[in-house]
A and B are shown apart, each in its own frame.
Chain A
């Protein structure tokens, strides 16, 4: 299967701990997006990369959130000092570099902060 993959699929952590999620995009896709989805809502954009460059990060929810894509392939999203309000589904999507490109989503990482 050559779709977008995310790891882990589920994460339970205690408040105050740091967590890191990984996303592996479709191999030929050079754009990568992170979204957050809370219960009963649509996904909410967080940040995106074109190759290894992070072109927009002002929508990250706080300075506790950071993302990297060091070699323009996989990406990581880290949340430091987690809070209960961070509990959500974190979705990754990838796309080709074309106008209005279709984004293909991974299965998501469901985070629960106790």
Chain B
């Protein structure tokens, strides 16, 4: 069963628009961790943010913000005033303690294209 769902496969916006990437997760654990990674065309996964299940405060980092809502099992990511350099595939991931340690369960990713 898919533990992380990113329903948006592709999103295209014009530069300076705001865009929100959705992430819905599934877990029975009370302790878990959520992540967002960015994968530009070069292929390397770049860490963006980590949240634990006990910290529901939203976070803002420059043009990036994250909205964590346990009630809806969602961890959405918003880019404000998007730029061409934001074009990439963005992955949401869930980590919980299993036999696989804290191996990450990734969603299928959302491909974001920002055009000038």
Residues of A participating in the B interface, judged by any CB pair closer than 8 Å: 31, 33, 35, 40-45, 48, 50, 55-56, 58-59, 89, 91, 93, 95, 99-108, 110
Contacts and interface: CB of A to CB of B under 8 A. Distances in A.
Interface residues of B, number: 29
A102 B47 CA distance: 8
Interface of B: 4, 31-33, 35, 37, 42-47, 50, 52, 91, 93, 95, 97, 99-109
Nearest to A104: B47
B102 A42 contact: no
A100 B52 contact: yes
Contacts, number: 74
Contacts of A102: 35, 47, 50
B101 A107 contact: no
A59 B31 CA distance: 23
Given A42-B93, A43-B106, A107 B100 contact: no
Contacts of B91: 42-43
15 contacts: A41-B109, A42-B4, A42-B108, A45-B100, A56-B99, A56-B101, A100-B95, A101-B102, A102-B47, A103-B102, A104-B47, A105-B47, A106-B44, A107-B43, A108-B43
Contact of B101 (A31, A44, A89): A31
Given A42-B107, A107-B43, A99 B100 contact: no
Contacts of B108: 40-42
Given A59-B100, A106-B44, A107-B43, A42 B106 contact: yes
Nearest to B104: A103
